[in-house]
Structure 1
Amino acid sequence: MITTDASGSRPGAVVATEARVRGLLTGAGRDDVVRAALGARPDQPVAVRVDRVQHRVGLGVSVGYDVRYGAAQDYLVVSSAPLDGAGLARLERDGLVLHAWRHPHDPALPGLAAACDVATVARWLPGTATLEFCSYRPLRRAVVRAVGADGAAVGYLKVVRPGAATDLVRRHDLLADAGVPAPLVLTAPTPGVVLLTPAPGTPLLDAPVRPRMADVLDVLEELGTEPLALPARPSWADRVEVHADGAVAALGTPSSRPLELAARLRRVMDAHDAGPLVATHGDLHPGNLFVADGEVSALIDVDSLGPGHRVDDVACLLAHLSQAAVTTDVGALRTLTAWLPDAVAHLPRGVGYPALAARAGAVVLSLVGVAASAAHRWRLLALARAWCVSAETARLDPLMHHLTRRSSS
């Protein structure tokens, strides 16, 4: 289980410590840490690849590794989060206390091991032949796809902390009652595991024909008013200063740029109305928006469904499109260019482009801390700055100039 941190450290000290953890777990010393976690000899050859870095400022850094040693292959997670429980290896390095575990024995996700066992899942979802691991955020959640002999998805297993499963089911049920296209809950067979129907269509960036922004907004309006009774959660923009701290830790070199950028974004957000409280998805990036035949076919990953501001949903979607435009997907730039004017035109009354652009900049800043490479982190920081300048000047030109220049380089 996760325990509370009673260290009393100041936020600046926490960020500095977590920067040290990131450096240790992703730098040259990572092989030694992995050997110690495995109980291997100091001279035993190991091949270690960093798979993902999960950093939540103040809650620790967790790093997942693909590991090969001898004839064995493992997936190992090492975390600085304060943990206790069986199956954990406790390590001490350079004054840092770390804990490690072999996948799928995540101490905060007791249902994960069962969700990764084909025989168990086949009893829950008859017809299951194989399992595909879709995503994993250590100590938080995971998604597993159950696949039939024909290669089609039989269903999906959402693995969360046991205490979060009831709320997740409630959110899916609210969407079903409202007629919003989203996966349906089949059952919750064991604590912390929810079985869902497959979502029709493909993620937005994989769709050959993409919907209009107005069509996306129409689906969001179908969320209705029932989700307003759910607990409110801070949006990505609400936590811009925390994300700036994470960016500082991730960049690995002394830099005040993320903090200065967060302050500028905060000033714009404070100066411009965000609109009324409405039902929001809460994490509407392109991977959570499914499309079929040019129309929205499903909203997935609805853990954050609840009260919020429509501008935050739109900003999240546009921010991730801009990230794709400067890194992996030229088509994302065409979609973003088409959607931006439509998004501004359909914002709630009194909400202008500066509010949208500042929030999009905050979302991009949140991505810096989880980017896979140093080059990618600096590229995202520059993109967040372009959104910020666009918000400060209330003009699209600074953003579009940056995007077209980066996507053509």
Structure 2
Amino acid sequence: MLTGGFGPFSRADLTGLLGALVASDHRRMLSATLHDVQYRAGHYYVIAEVSAHHDGGVGQFYYGLTTAPVPSEARGYATKLHDYNIFAWEHPHDPLLPGLTLAATPAQVRQHFAPDRELTALHTVIYRPMNRAVFKARLTPQTPAGLGETLYLKVLRPGIAQTLYNIHLTLGAAGVPVVPPIAPPVADVLTLAGGQGMPLGELARTEGVVTRFDARQLIDLLDRFPREILHYPHRASWADRYQEFIQSAHQAMPEEYARLGQLAYRFDQAHQQLDLGPVVPTHGDLYEAHILVDPVTGEIRQILDVDGAGPGYRVDDYACLIGHVAVLGYAHNPQWGWQTAMRFFGQLAPYTNPHTLAVRSAAVVVSLIPGYQPDEQTRARGQRYLRVVEALLELA
């Protein structure tokens, strides 16, 4: 019924598990599809769609599964498979995202965020089980001739939404062009306005290496981050977590065991002598999808997703952008993403340690290697990303 397994679990294992899960809800499974498999910090997180007989008809149901520990009061189905504890739940009852039910239910979205408006669309933008989710809500115009409005509902773990709301206010007051929150959070859901401008990745795709965006704009942008941001908790950057992501790549690409082992050794050696610079206020996840620019001038208009704002290293914000851009257009010849990344590298290297920038950019690309590679296209992407990692390390 499934196209394949992942990690230690075979297709038969998962078919049996999902069948038992669906039966516990008094349904009979007809088919199932794995929509996403994530491997984070040694645990799997899975989203599966199940077609099943229910109440005399056939319905589509979504389930989350994880090998990670969950709260004892979590609503779901616990079992054991190949010495792994597995917990499963029906969407939207995520064990660590209680606000998911609100954000995923149109009637509740209308009640809490648009009581006087018509909700015309509600789409999932991203869902990382037990971590966070973002929904895009479209509202009717406020006036007959007006334009519709877009809201983004960010679902976070308990206690985080208020902190993020405060970060938005702090950055906005300091002149950082963040999207404004619509209102204080409700039930761990923060509502943000739609951003203004074109995503930098889209501009780079259309213009290629000659893009009008100058990466040196990031220097002034990050200089505006106020020192209050240093009071927020320090979080490991994507580059800091290279060992975790190499392990994830091992799980997805066992045929590259020796190659990945050599990369791990090179990263370990490089990190023994990296000059990361001083700890400063950082964005924490500053890549092309989170940078909105003017499509005519290439000037930054707004930045998105400041969830990771806090103390860190400026070079890691630069590396996050370079690493993400370097893998764009990986299937094209020439690779416009790599060429654009090298342009950005050349613009930013004089303002930081070039050796460190190359190593940390390569570490960011390791974090992007697909942790689940069920088909030839995804396997080819994993291979291409490995080559980009090696090419960036050659710049160090």
**For 1:326, what is the secondary structure of its paired residue?**
coil
Instruction: Give 1:197 shift.
Output: 1.4
User: Counterpart in 2 of 1:64?
Assistant: 47
1:32 and 2:16 aligned: yes
- Rounded Cα–Cα distance in structure 1 between residues aligned with 2:30 and 2:392: 43
Unaligned runs of 5+ in 2: 142-146
Q: Is the 8 A contact 2:291 2:302 kept in 1?
A: yes
Residue 383 of structure 1: aligned partner: 388
Helix, strand or coil for the counterpart of 2:329? helix
* Larger CA deviation: 129-138 vs 262-271: 262-271
Distance 1:195 1:337 in 2: 36
The amino acid across from 2:321 in the alignment is L
Find the residue that maps to 1:324 and give its secondary structure.
coil
Residue 80 of structure 2, aligned match among 92, 95, 98? 92
Taking structure 1 as the reference length, what is the TM-score of the superposition? 0.82
**Is the deviation greater in 119-128 or in 22-31?**
22-31
Q: Is the 1:118–1:129 contact (alpha carbons within 8 Å) kept by the matching residues of 2?
A: no
Q: Deviations over 1:196-218 (max 9, x none)?
A: 11111232212356521112332
Kindly report the root-mean-square deviation, in angstroms, between the aligned alpha carbons of the 2 structures. Answer: 2.5
Deviates more, 1:141-150 or 1:107-116: 141-150
Where 1:186 maps in the other structure, the secondary structure is: coil
Check whether the contact 2:29–2:50 (CA below 8 A) recurs between aligned residues. no
Amino acid at match of 2:7: G
- Alignment partner for residue 267 of structure 2, among 262, 265, 268? 265
How many residues end up aligned between the 2 structures?
Answer: 365
Secondary structure in 2 matching 1:228:
helix
Deviation, structure 1 residue 63? 0.8
What's the TM-score, normalizing by structure 2?
0.84
Q: Give the conservation status (yes or no) of the 8 Å contact 1:265–1:359.
A: no
TM-superposition CA deviations, 1:212-261 (whole Å, max 9, x none) = 11123322222132212222111122222222222212224571432331
Is contact 1:25-1:63 (8 Å) kept? Answer: no
Correspondence for 1:4: none
2:140 maps to what in 1?
149
User: Cα distance 1:36–1:285, how it changes in 2: closer, same or farther (>3 A)?
Assistant: farther
Confirm or deny: 8 A CA contact 1:249 1:369 kept in the other structure: no
Q: Does 1:354 align with 2:364?
A: no
Between the aligned residues of both structures, percent identity stands at: 32
* Aligned with residue 242 of structure 2, among 236, 240, 243: 240
- Following superposition, the deviation at residue 269 of structure 1 comes to 3.1
Structure-2 separation of matches of 1:202 and 1:136: 23
- Tell me, in whole angstroms, the C-alpha distance in 1 between the residues paired with 2:107 and 2:78: 31
Structure 2 CA distance for partners of 1:371 and 1:299, relative to 1, 3 Å:
farther
**Matched ranges for 1:298-377 at <5 A:** 298-327=302-331, 330-347=335-352, 351=353, 353-370=354-371, 372=373, 373-377=378-382
Query: Distance between the aligned counterparts of 2:232 and 2:383, measured in 1?
Result: 37
Closer, same or farther: CA 27–292 of 1 in aligned 2, 3 Å = farther
- The C-alpha deviation readout for 1:10-35, integer Å capped at 9, x for no partner, is xxxxxxxxxxx942557454322222
1:179, 1:124 → 2: CA distance? 29
Larger deviation, residues 315-324 vs 207-216: 207-216
Residue 106 of structure 1 is aligned with which of 90, 94, 106?
94
Question: Which runs of 5 or more structure 1 residues have no equivalent in the other structure?
Answer: 1-20, 392-409
Q: Out of 293, 300, 324, which is 1:296 matched to?
A: 300
Aligned counterpart, 1:279: 281
Cα distance in 2 for residues equivalent to 1:268 and 1:152:
51
Question: C-alpha separation between the residues in 2 aligned to 1:215 and 1:191?
Answer: 36
Deviation at 1:105, TM superposition (A): 1.0
CA distance in 1, matches of 2:33, 2:388: 28
- Which residue number in structure 1 is paired with residue 144 of structure 2? none
- Counterpart contact for 1:202–1:291, Cα < 8 Å: yes
Question: 1:10-49 counterparts in 2 under 5 A?
Answer: 22-24=6-8, 27=11, 29-39=13-23, 46-49=30-33
Match for 1:77: what amino acid?
A: G
Give 3-state SS (helix, strand or coil) of 1:133's partner.
strand
Asked if 1 retains the 8 angstrom alpha-carbon contact of 2:329 and 2:336, the reply is: yes
Checking the alignment, whether the CA contact within 8 Å between 2:165 and 2:185 is kept in structure 1 is no
Distance in 1 (alpha carbons) for counterparts of 2:229 and 2:109: 31
Query: Take 2:64 and 2:332, find their aligned partners in 1: how far apart are those partners?
Result: 27
**Contact 1:228 1:278 survives alignment (8 Å):** yes
